[in-house]
Structure 1
Amino acid sequence: MLADRIRSRVIPSAAADPYFSNVSLLFHGDEADGSSTVVDSGPLANSSTYSGATTTTAVKLFGTGSIFQTGTSYLSVPSSTAFDFGSGNFTIELAVNINSVTGNRNILGKYETSATAPFVIYQIGTQIGFYASSNGTGWDLLSNLTFGSSFAAATWYLLAVTRTGNVYRTFLNGTLVSTATVSGTLVSNSEPLFFGRGNNTAPGYWTGWMDEIRITKGISRYTANYTTQSGPFPNY
């Protein structure tokens, strides 16, 4: 299994995260089966709400559980300036286990009524890409900066996207996949941060499991191939 191969090539996670004070969100998904919320273990302790989704202990990569999206459900976090990256550095990381590799589906995005989000991680069939907007009406900065095009169902993958100055990078299981140099400021909005859906017009519900979600503002954690974690991200 990929999870076993991931563990075989990693070293133990550091005892502490040197950038923990910059963490905007940290979800482990280790709540009991059927929990209606997910605890944010980061310094901001953001609230979260499920709509039809649930946590499960049956499928997970690390820890005791994961966040399950049914294909008609989602997890939301209220709008916060912690997710407004502007022209600054950032890192978004999460583990995904895809339940369906057909259709167009939103994995992560900060929009509800807006036409376009500041950023989105989006699945199109067996492909996953990162999108970014400076105007809120189109993907003028990035349109499908790919993480890869051969994703399979029932397999865990570790995704990461970073911005360092004007350079965006995507990573799959610690390996650099795509690089793009684009100047511009990510648009800000007052929309929720959604996991598993897009906006009201085209929700594009995602189906699968998510684990170990970490968003870091102001820090680009990776600029080249890196050694992925062997367990949950540290809480301090």
Structure 2
Amino acid sequence: MSLFALSAVTAAIRKVNQSVEGDPHWDKVVALLHFDGAIGSSDFEDESGFYHVITVEGTPTLEATSVFGQAGEFIVNEGLIFPDHPSLRMEDQDFTIEGFFQPASPGALSIVYMKGLNTSDGMLLSFSTSQIFMRNVDNETDLIKTVSLDSNTFYHVAFQRVGNLRQIWLDGQKVAEDSVIFNHSSIEPMTIGGYHPGVASGAYLFDGRIDEFRITKGVARYVSNFNVPTAPFSNQGVV
């Protein structure tokens, strides 16, 4: 069996083995990427119920080094662009933006998600070997957690809003929290990976791999310490 055929079979088995119980918040999932497909390809798909059309910037690829199945590999100036959609505007609602991230090189600022760099209602998220942070562009307030992480390891990271609280969770532990009022309603495109419009080439951009990326709007999933997911995020609700 060829490597490409094996990748497809692995992805199919992975979907069959997803949690039978399903996701109790599936109706609130607005973006979901498993990063599965033929190794070496740039076939990135949103598997939420919105099926957002993704534009690829640069040549990010699907790679075998992952947590489940395959992962997306991004170097500086490679990323995924989602067109603006009301579902992707977090507004003043609770939300959870999460995934498994493997930073490839050290650095303080390494933007992995952005929606609205040049607007008063934007937000960006950064994850590197030395720092994790959330920024609200309107008042340039940062929630920062200093860390010392291994560049060869995947970490589960969740960025949350709970009321007026911003939270950062690392491998099931809440590591940072503050209180700030903001409305994330930017109509600019959403970008993930190592490319973000308006950010200088080669500066402050994510370099590494991402697996199982999910955005849940309308609920903060984590309220206490939890075990890191041991299966891919579900593609269905509770049945």
- Does the alignment pair 1:68 with 2:67? no
Deviation at 1:116, TM superposition (A): 6.6
State the Cα distance separating 1:124 from its structure 2 match: 5.8
2:32 counterpart (26, 30, 34): 26
Percent pairwise identity: 25
Q: Which runs of 5+ in 1 are unaligned?
A: 1-11
Cα separation, partners in 2 of 1:14 and 1:109, compared to 1, 3 Å: farther
Q: Is the 8 A contact 2:103 2:129 kept in 1?
A: no
- Structure 2 matches for 1:2-151, cutoff 5 A? 13=19, 15-62=21-68, 64-102=69-107, 104-111=109-116, 114=118, 118-123=122-127, 126-133=130-137, 135=138, 138-139=139-140, 142-146=141-145, 148-151=146-149
Alignment length, in residue pairs?
217
CA RMSD of aligned residues (A): 2.2
Deviation for aligned residue 1:209:
0.3
The reply on whether 1:221 has 2:226 as its aligned counterpart is no
Query: What's the TM-score, normalizing by structure 2?
Result: 0.82
Per the normalisation by structure 1, the TM-score is: 0.83
1:148-167 Cα deviation digits (max 9, x unpaired): 42122111100001111111
Cα distance, 1:171–1:39 mapped onto 2, change above 3 Å? same
Give the superposition deviation at 1:201.
4.2
**How far apart are the structure 2 equivalents of 1:78 and 1:165?**
27
Unaligned stretches of 5+ in structure 2?
A: 1-17
Aligned to 2:173: 175
Distance 1:74 1:186, change over 3 A: same
1:179 is displaced (CA, Å) by 1.2
Match of 2:7 in 1: none
1:28/1:76 CA distance change after superposition, 3 Å: same
